[in-house]
Amino acid sequence: MVATLFGPAFVASVAYIDPGNFATNFAAGSGHGYQLVWVIVMANLMAIVVQYLSSKVGLATGKSLPELCRDNYSRRTNVMLWLQAEVVAMATDLAEFIGAAIGLYLVFGIPLLPAGIITAAVAFTILALEQRGYRKFELAIIAMLAFVGAGFIYVFFAAGKQDYRALIGGLIPDLGGNGAAALTVGIVGATVMPHVVYLHSALQRNRIRADSASERQTLLRYNKWDCIVGLGLAGVVNLSMLCIAAALFHSAGMTDVSDLDEVHAQLAAMVGGGAALAFAIALMASGLSSASVGTQAGQVVMAGFMNWRLPLFLRRAITMAPALIVLAVGVNASEALVFSQIVLSFGIPFALIPLLLLTRQRSVMGEMVNRRGTTIAMTAITVVITGLNLYLLYDVGAGLLG
Residue 344 confidence class, pLDDT cut points 50, 70, 90: confident
Q: What is the DSSP string of 273-318?
A: HHHHHHHHHHHHHHHHHHHHHHHHHHHHHHHHHH-----HHHHHHH
Average pLDDT, integer, range 348-366: 92
By percentage, how much of the chain surpasses pLDDT 90?
A: 28
By percentage, how much of the chain surpasses pLDDT 70?
A: 89
Spell out a b/e string for 194-217, using b for 16 or more CB atoms within 10 Å of the CB, else e. Answer: bbbbbbbbbbbeebeebeeeeebe
Average pLDDT, integer, range 40-63: 91
Average pLDDT, integer, range 184-211: 77
pLDDT for position 91: 76
Instruction: To the nearest 10°, report the CA torsion of 281, 286, 291, 297.
Output: 160
| Cα 127 to Cα 135: distance, rounded to the nearest angstrom | 12
pLDDT for position 87: 82
- Other beta carbons less than 10 A from residue 133's beta carbon: 10
Coil, strand or helix: which one is 255?
A: coil
Residue 343 confidence class, pLDDT cut points 50, 70, 90: confident
pLDDT for position 388: 77
Average pLDDT, integer, range 169-180: 83
* Higher local confidence (pLDDT), 4 or 2: 4
Q: What is the mean pLDDT of the chain?
A: 83
Tally the domains of the chain: 1
Lowest mean pLDDT among 68-82, 180-194, 384-398: 384-398
Q: Give yes or no for residue 334 having a pLDDT over 70.
A: no
pLDDT for position 113: 84
pLDDT digits (tens, 9 = 90+) for 242-296: 999 999 999 888 888 878 888 999 999 999 999 999 999 998 888 888 877 777 7
Residue 401: CA atoms inside 13 Å, Cβ hemisphere, count? 6
Q: Domain span at residue 281?
A: 1-401
Average pLDDT, integer, range 68-88: 91
| Cα 233 to Cα 237: distance, rounded to the nearest angstrom | 6
Average pLDDT, integer, range 211-228: 82
pLDDT for position 35: 94
Average pLDDT, integer, range 343-372: 89
pLDDT for position 88: 81
Q: Give yes or no for residue 301 having a pLDDT over 60.
A: yes
Q: Give yes or no for residue 158 having a pLDDT over 60.
A: yes
Give the domain CATH number at 292. Answer: 1.20.1740.10
Residue 1 confidence class, pLDDT cut points 50, 70, 90: very low
| Cα 119 to Cα 130: distance, rounded to the nearest angstrom | 18
| Cα 93 to Cα 12: distance, rounded to the nearest angstrom | 15
Residue 376 confidence class, pLDDT cut points 50, 70, 90: very high
Average pLDDT, integer, range 98-118: 87
Q: Give yes or no for residue 347 having a pLDDT over 60.
A: yes
